[in-house]
Structure 1
Amino acid sequence: MIDFDTTDPKLLRVTITGDVSREEVKDFYAKFKPEIDERHRTGVLVDITGFKDITPGAMLEDVIEEFGLLGDMSKMPRVAMITGNRTWAGMVRYLNPIIPKMETRVFMPSEIRDAEDWARDLPEPKERKPGLSVIDTDHPDVLAFELDGYMDDDDMDIIVRPFRDRIDKGGQFNALARLKHFAGFDPEILFDRALLGMKWDAIRALHRYAIVTDHQWVRPFAGMARLVSKVDVKIFPMAEEQAAWEWVKQPIPTAA
């Protein structure tokens, strides 16, 4: 069962109990979406203390509906989740850094008042600056960029252009990415043909790819990259950035 309470002008309450069916999910989003459209910004509180199970069809429906809400994340800058389940709490903490424009925190059932206060206390909107920027290098075979914030689809050309120019010159090259803060991304990026084409060609042109970051959630993605390509991917902590530069500036073997 999904209960949806809209009586608080600063907070939307969602309480999930028992088993959840696909029809219940569809009915919930039919009410939730219009409410989000009407509100400029709002906090959200999701209480799953009494949640038991969800059918496969309901889970698929929820994923589809949530993907459709990616463009409205900025309207829900804070989401408080109430649960005593450690597995759910761990999943939320892991995924929180990669959810765009929205911060999610987990609270215990005994902390519901703190959760309400936190979700209502919305931060002031910040003036957006490009999350991506190119780092100048003194090496012809090294391209570098920095991610610090939210990646907008309009920002993609900042890195697509120099990478495309270097790929078109032929031969292999190295790259370095400095990841300071990741605040999510515009879902349109997933369908950016110029970016997708550049990534596909870069897989064959890249020799070494250094990622400088202290974010641990990056490691599984780097591991997957090693499995599906021949690019030598290596992660360096921020304190060892100099070692990362020295690594990518080493001469590329002719055999590569």
Structure 2
Amino acid sequence: MIKFLASPDDVVAIKIDQTVDAEQLKSITNRIDDRLAEHETIAMYLDLRGLERFTLAAILDDLRYSLKHIGDLSRIRRVALVTRARWIDVIASWENRVLPSIDIRVFDPEDRRSALDWASESLEMPAPSLRRITTDKDAVRAFALTGPLRSSDIRLLADDLDAAYARHGTIRLLMRVEHYGLRPSVFTQDIVKMKLRALQHVKAYALVGGPSWMAGVASLLDPLMSMEVRHFGLDDENDAWEWLGAAPVGESAGVVA
């Protein structure tokens, strides 16, 4: 049995007793979807003191939901678990390593008030990992990747590029990689669609910096793709701009279309 508890609007607070079946799990995932539709990020409070087991159907449904919504997992910033069950503590520790964007903490039952308070604290949005580089030609788009790429960065980048495609049809693109890293949550349909659109609209792509293996990948892909792809070292960025036929004007945090 599950019971939804009073909490701030961006917190999904639930008390779970005994067995959780597929129907009950569906009501939980529906509540999560509702909150994500209204808020960029949410937190969760789960009182698991009475939890005995999940049915097999519930476990399978949970797996299907997680795979379908993997792109939204980074939007769940904080999870408070109230339990004395050590096996849940072990699972939480493992998930903290697999999903570093989610802060998962386990609280003893007598600290459940502190758990809800912690889950309800204001969620600080992470700084964008993409910086927009303004160029002297609107049909040349440029960005700098300065941290782990998150799903929110992907959405902003896709919006910026789509607006440029609408204005120009085809564009040239520069990506300076100052820091390379991917959150598990970025592997979504959105990034696949963005790459497919890029194949249609980007005629030249300059990749600047990044791990050494990126140069080999760029050389391998260049003859196989309709767009020209070239890799440049960070010290050779001026050559990349010359190849694209543009120059940088300034940089701004985040991506603005």
TM-score (norm 1): 0.51
In structure 1, the partner of 2:120 is: 120
Cα deviation digits, residues 161-190 of structure 1 (max 9, x gap): xxxxxxxxxxxxxxxxxxx99884235279
Structure 1 residues 93, 62: CA separation in 2 closer, same or farther (over 3 Å shift)?
A: same
In structure 2, the partner of 1:129 is: 129
Partner letter of residue 30 of structure 1? N
Partner letter of residue 127 of structure 2? E
Counterparts of 1:47 and 1:183 in 2: how far apart (Å)?
Answer: 32
Query: Residue 9 of structure 1: SS of its match in structure 2?
Result: coil
CA positional deviation for 1:41:
3.0
In structure 2, the partner of 1:9 is: 9
In structure 1, the partner of 2:76 is: 76
Cα deviation digits, residues 105-143 of structure 1 (max 9, x gap): 11111111221221122342122327xxxxxxxxxxxxx
Matches within 5 A, 1:1-256: 1-5=1-5, 7-99=7-99, 101-129=101-129, 150-152=148-150, 184-188=183-187
Is residue 77–residue 122 contact of structure 1 (8 Å, CA) maintained in 2? no
Is residue 81–residue 106 contact of structure 1 (8 Å, CA) maintained in 2? yes
Counterparts of 1:117 and 1:189 in 2: how far apart (Å)?
Answer: 32
RMSD: 3.6
Instruction: Specify every segment of 5 or more residues in structure 2 that has no aligned partner in the other structure, as ranges.
Output: 131-145, 155-178, 196-212, 218-257
Is residue 96–residue 104 contact of structure 1 (8 Å, CA) maintained in 2? yes
Cα deviation digits, residues 202-229 of structure 1 (max 9, x gap): 9xxxxxxxxxxxxxxxxxxxxxxxxxxx
Is residue 101–residue 183 contact of structure 1 (8 Å, CA) maintained in 2? no
Query: Residue 8 of structure 1: SS of its match in structure 2?
Result: coil
Counterparts of 2:147 and 2:49 in 1: how far apart (Å)?
Answer: 33
Counterparts of 1:115 and 1:151 in 2: how far apart (Å)?
Answer: 30
Structure 1 residues 129, 36: CA separation in 2 closer, same or farther (over 3 Å shift)?
A: closer
Partner letter of residue 56 of structure 1? L
In structure 2, the partner of 1:249 is: none
Is residue 100–residue 150 contact of structure 1 (8 Å, CA) maintained in 2? no
Counterparts of 2:99 and 2:71 in 1: how far apart (Å)?
Answer: 11
CA positional deviation for 1:149:
5.7
Identity %: 23
Partner letter of residue 61 of structure 1? D
Counterparts of 2:180 and 2:85 in 1: how far apart (Å)?
Answer: 28
Is residue 77–residue 101 contact of structure 1 (8 Å, CA) maintained in 2? yes
